Every structure is written in structure tokens, then in C-alpha cells.
């Protein structure tokens, strides 16, 4: 519920254009079409299940990459095309990093309202990974620590998590770029009868604020982003719908115990609609408050009925055919609390 999903564009990078054209840019869609012939489930993410080291850590306050927490050594194994938009990413130490084939990273790890010198400190943040020897097939485990309990400003929202991005762009010949970033294609909402995230999570630790106050606490959410585009490639409206699957402090920014809305903003920006929903109130699986529960829990549900029930209708003159998927975010938000959780096996799957 921060401006996280808009400030991703602060990422500072050096782009060298090497003969990019629409035929090379649609590489991802051809791959997906072939896969669909054998399986009705469309796996929308290149790094499906997060089995490869292919991510950068973006400090959203500076727009720079934290090189110590970034891994691109296996980015060339993910499958998204290299040498189309060759990326070099500017780091906070003055260097640049890139994948060996110059492909974009499959995902970004992000922080919001933390300085780089708070890495692995308290108050502070951290991302660490665990990987078994069967690295080819087994998902990497991520541990996210968001320790804001001792922060000076206990009412400031701090976030840490993963962001999967797609940046739609229309070329002069009328085609769209495809498969260059986290997503294997420029998917449209109308293509699917179901869109399901699937992730496995378990709690590591959490603790209450030192001083209780309204709005203080922590939660974990999985958000889905898409936008409506006109024929020229201009964004008409951006939408975000998220499901909060961990809410140990019973936060409700909508102040209505009788509905499933955790928070919403349909007013502050006329070109944006954002809403977070409570998994528990929707009847979905969620993380309980037991610290002794150290087993992974699978979080999955269908975004499509939630979009139709809780978000406004498409803008006048537009349909879901004009709505292109732009992202999937999994993150913890904290005000004056400590919260850490394990995450693995992240997927976003569509059913035609």
C-alpha cells in the first residue's frame, strides 16, 4: 500500500540498444505458444519456482542496485532472451553489474524506506537464501527480514520483498515487446479464465511494537498488477489487487470488520485503482500466529473473480483485452514491528 509499485521505475540502468526489433522481441510468446500445446497451464514467469540465481536487489529510495545482495550468475539459464535490450545496472558502489548474456534479471528484490547501511542491522533488513545440492530442479529458499521495531519513526511503512515486472511497449509496426523481463509474454487478462499465484511460505519470527498505536503492526501480501493501454501504447489506468495472507496484529485500514477489504485507494490518483484484501476474510488459506508452526504453507487462489468483484469496471471504451499484466509482488509491510518469513516455489499460472 506504499508507492512501491510506482517507484520501481527509479531503477537506474545503462541500456545499449543492439539492433532490437519486433521479431526478436516476441521470442517469449513463441516459446509460450509451444508450451501451451503440451500443457493447458501457462506458466507466466520465466524463472518459474525461482530455481535460478537471477535477481538484483533494488533500494527503491536511491534507485540503485545493492550489489552484495544481487545474483546474476545464472540469469543466462532462465530462458529470457539476451542481447535484445542489453542491461547494465548501476550499483551503489559505483560499479555496474549485468548477466553474462545481458538479459534482464528474472526478478527484483526490493527495499522501501531503508538505507543501505541498515543492511543486516537492527533496525534494518536482510535477504538471505538457502539452496540444497539439487539446484537444477529445487526452488531456492528466501528469508526476508524486516526489522522495524527499534526504528526511530515507528509509524513509517517499511517494506521488503520480491517484484516481478513486465514493461509493455508498443513498436511503430503495431507489435508489442514480449518476454524481456520477468514474464514470458505480454499477457492480457482476457486470455485467462483463471490467474493463480502459488507460493510456499512459513514464518520465521515476528514481534509486536514497543508501544502500541493505531496502524502499527505488520502484514505480508501478494499483489497482482495490470494496466489498460490504448492503441498507441499509452496507459489509461493502472490497477493493483493484493491478498494479505499474514496479519498477526489484526490490522484493518478500511475500518470495517464486516468486509474483506484490508485497504484501498481509488481516489488519490485518477489513473490508478489499488486494493488489498484479507485472505482470512475471503476464506483463503493464511499464515496463523503460531511461532512454532515451522512448516511451509501453500498460498494459492484465483485473481480473476477478485478483480471482477473488487475493482472497478474497465475504463469506458476498454475491456480486459486491453489490460496487460504488469507485475506480481510478494512483500512484508511493517510499522514499528519485526517480521521475517521464508518464501519459495513462487509461480504465477494462467488457465485459458
List pLDDT tens digits, range 124-145. 999 999 998 765 678 999 999 9
**Is residue 80 assigned to a domain?**
no
**Is residue 4 assigned to a domain?**
no
**Is residue 26 assigned to a domain?**
no
Calpha distance 338→290 (Å, rounded): 15
**Is residue 191 assigned to a domain?**
yes
**Is residue 58 assigned to a domain?**
no
More confident residue, 135 or 96: 96
**Is residue 6 assigned to a domain?**
no
Quote the pLDDT of residue 198: 98
Taking the CA atoms of the chain, what radius of gyration do you get in angstroms? 20
Tell me the CA distances in angstroms from 84 to 16, 54, 184, 264, one per residue in order.
9, 17, 14, 38
* Average of per-residue pLDDT across 210-224: 94
Calpha distance 327→9 (Å, rounded): 13
Query: What residues have CB less than 8 Å from 22, skipping those under 6 apart?
Result: 171, 173, 175, 177
pLDDT digits (tens, 9 = 90+) for 27-61: 333 444 444 444 689 999 999 999 999 999 999 88
**Is residue 145 assigned to a domain?**
yes
Per 3-state DSSP, the chain is made up of helix, strand and coil in percentages (nearest 5) of 15, 40, 50
Q: Calculate the average pLDDT of the chain.
A: 87
Domain count, the chain: 1
Quote the pLDDT of residue 31: 43
Per the DSSP assignment, residues forming a β-bridge with 14 are 88
Which CATH number do you get for residue 316?
2.60.120
Q: What residues make up the domain containing 258?
A: 106-351
**Is residue 19 assigned to a domain?**
no
Q: What single-letter DSSP state applies at residue 176? A: B
More confident residue, 11 or 289: 289
Calpha distance 257→77 (Å, rounded): 47
Amino acid at each position: 500500500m506504499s508507492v512501491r509499485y510506482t517507484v520501481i521505475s527509479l531503477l537506474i540502468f545503462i541500456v545499449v540498444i543492439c539492433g532490437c526489433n519486433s521479431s526478436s522481441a516476441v521470442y517469449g510468446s513463441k516459446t509460450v505458444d509451444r508450451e501451451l500445446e503440451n500443457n493447458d497451464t501457462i506458466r507466466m514467469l520465466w524463472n518459474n519456482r525461482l530455481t535460478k540465481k537471477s535477481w538484483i536487489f533494488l533500494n527503491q529510495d536511491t534507485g540503485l542496485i545493492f550489489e552484495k545482495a544481487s545474483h546474476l550468475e545464472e540469469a543466462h539459464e532462465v530462458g529470457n532472451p539476451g542481447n535484445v535490450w542489453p542491461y547494465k545496472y548501476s550499483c551503489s558502489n559505483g560499479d555496474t553489474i549485468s548477466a553474462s548474456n545481458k538479459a534482464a534479471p528474472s526478478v527484483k528484490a526490493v527495499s522501501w524506506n531503508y538505507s543501505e547501511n541498515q543492511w543486516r542491522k537492527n533496525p534494518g533488513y536482510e535477504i538471505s537464501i538457502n539452496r540444497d545440492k539439487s539446484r537444477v530442479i529445487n526452488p531456492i529458499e528466501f528469508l526476508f527480514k524486516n526489522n522495524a521495531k527499534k526504528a526511530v519513526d515507528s509509524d513509517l511503512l517499511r517494506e521488503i520483498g520480491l517484484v516481478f515486472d513486465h514493461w509493455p511497449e508498443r513498436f511503430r509496426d503495431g507489435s508489442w515487446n514480449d518476454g524481456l523481463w520477468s514474464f514470458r509474454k505480454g499477457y492480457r487478462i482476457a486470455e485467462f479464465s483463471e490467474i493463480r499465484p502459488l507460493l510456499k511460505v512459513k514464518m520465521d519470527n515476528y514481534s509486536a511494537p514497543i508501544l502500541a498505536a493505531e496502524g502499527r503492526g505488520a502484514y505480508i501480501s501478494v499483489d497482482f498488477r495490470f494496466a489498460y493501454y490504448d492503441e498507441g501504447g499509452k496507459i489509461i489506468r493502472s490497477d493493483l489487487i493484493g491478498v494479505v495472507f499474514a496479519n498477526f496484529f489484526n490490522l484493518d485500514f478500511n475500518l470495517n470488520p464486516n468486509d474483506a477489504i484490508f485497504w484501498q485507494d481509488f481516489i488519490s490518483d485518477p489513473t490508478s485503482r489499488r486494493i488489498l484484501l484479507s485472505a482470512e476474510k475471503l476464506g483463503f488459506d493464511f499464515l496463523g500466529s503460531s511461532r512454532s508452526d515451522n512448516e511451509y504453507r501453500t498460498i494459492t487462489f484465483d485473481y480473476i473473480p477478485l478483480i471482477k468483484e473488487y475493482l472497478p469496471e474497465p475504463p469506458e471504451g476498454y475491456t480486459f483485452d486491453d489490460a496487460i499484466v504488469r507485475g506480481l509482488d510478494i512483500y512484508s509491510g511493517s510499522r514499528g514491528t519485526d517480521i521475517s518469513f521464508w518464501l519459495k516455489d513462487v509461480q504465477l499460472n494462467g488457465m485459458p
